[in-house]
Amino acid sequence: MAKSEKQKLKLLYIIQCLMEKTDEEHAVTTQEIIDYLALQGITAERKSIYTDIDLLTDFGMDIIKKPGRSGGYTLASRQFELAELKLLVDAVQSSKFITTKKSRELIGKLETLCSKYEATQLHRQVVVTNRNKAVNENIYYNVDIIYNAIAENVKIQFQYFEWDVSKEMKLRRDGKIYEVSPWLLTWDDENYYLIAYDDEAEMIKHYRVDKMLKIKLSVDKREGKEQFEDFDIAAYSKKTFGMFAGKEETVTLRCDRTLTGVMIDRFGKDVAMRKMDENTVSARVNVAVSRQFFGWVTGLGNALKIEAPERVVDQYREYLGEILACYSK
């Protein structure tokens, strides 16, 4: 690149210098800016730096001149505060649906939004976490394709897998292609899910996005618009334990009053509850009855009991019988 063309990039390199090298604790002097520009093949005089800083300030950049011999210029405010970046880094690192490789790439990009000194704090935050991560590197592209399908109002086709005992991917339904109408994406229990309408089964279903393979757009238009007109994703998540499907039922639970907070945390503040006596409350909740729901009830021990309907009580007794039989062998 010719010298004159390099000079045209001068302001951009000054911005880059301020972003990389300054924060509340660190500033750069005029000479350090000149040296930084020199590394880019740009010559500059001190007076021109003063003028450039004034221009960037007029443009709206929050550049502060620190007085004294050890002073200099610092970028006082950025698009994200360090505390916000730490929060984002932790969210990326703890998200099971983002692979380790993609987590590192994302965190590396987040580090560019603060100074090199603050970036070390983000890096230290990463190494203290050690959670299981997804292995499907295509999840980013899966999400992109799903959003494209929603925007273009078409169905998607894909294969769906599960893990076998050898820790190998095994295609469900012998590799048969699924075709559904995508409507929503949601994050539940640290996993990303597609909420879709299956017109063949005539019902709403959900799928783990990281377990979807070879996604592509269909030529067929989406179906299920009526089913999703008043769809409440929050209510759907509350009644599906761990996003495991089951027949929806209105269930009456009788529990110790100490579990009031547990009920509200699980089903929301609008859960229908009434006081039975000084120590007991009753709650009516809509749930997808599944083994995961029964497992949740069992985990709360004698403090929680399913009272109605009787068919759900019978299913729960069968579930407990299977568990006891398993341990009695």
- Closest-CA residue to 146 (of 224, 52, 210, 235): 210
Contact present, 215 and 158 (Cβ < 8 Å): yes
Tens of pLDDT, residue by residue over 270-286, are 788 888 888 898 999 88
Q: Is the pLDDT of residue 266 over 60?
A: yes
CA 262 to chain centre: 24
For residues 123 and 132, give the distance between their C-alpha atoms in angstroms, rounded to a whole number: 18
Average pLDDT over residues 264-274: 81
Contacts of 294 (CB under 8 A, 6+ apart): 315, 316, 319, 320
| Locus of tokens 């069968």 | 318
Strands of the sheet with 247-256, listed across from one edge: 272-275, 280-289, 247-256, 304-308
Tens of pLDDT, residue by residue over 53-80, are 999 999 999 999 988 776 799 999 999 9
Give the per-residue pLDDT at 242: 55
Give the per-residue pLDDT at 136: 64
Phi first, then psi, for residue 286 (nearest 5°) are: -95, 120
Q: What is the dihedral of CA 62, 66, 72, 73, to 10 degrees?
A: 0
Confidence of residue 129 (pLDDT cuts 50, 70, 90): very low
Confidence of residue 98 (pLDDT cuts 50, 70, 90): confident
- Closest-CA residue to 72 (of 35, 44, 30): 30
The verdict on whether omega for the bond into residue 67 sits within 30 degrees of 0, i.e. cis, is no
Q: Is 280 helix (H, G, I), strand (E, B) or coil?
A: strand
HEC secondary structure over 211-276: HEEEEEEEEEECCCHHHHCCCCHHHHHHHCHHHCCCEEEEEEEEEEHHHHHHHHHHHCCCCEEEEC
Average pLDDT over residues 215-235: 89
Q: Is the pLDDT of residue 199 over 60?
A: yes
For residues 278 and 257, give the distance between their C-alpha atoms in angstroms, rounded to a whole number: 8
Contacts of 126 (CB under 8 A, 6+ apart): 89, 93, 107
- Closest-CA residue to 290 (of 316, 264, 317, 324): 316
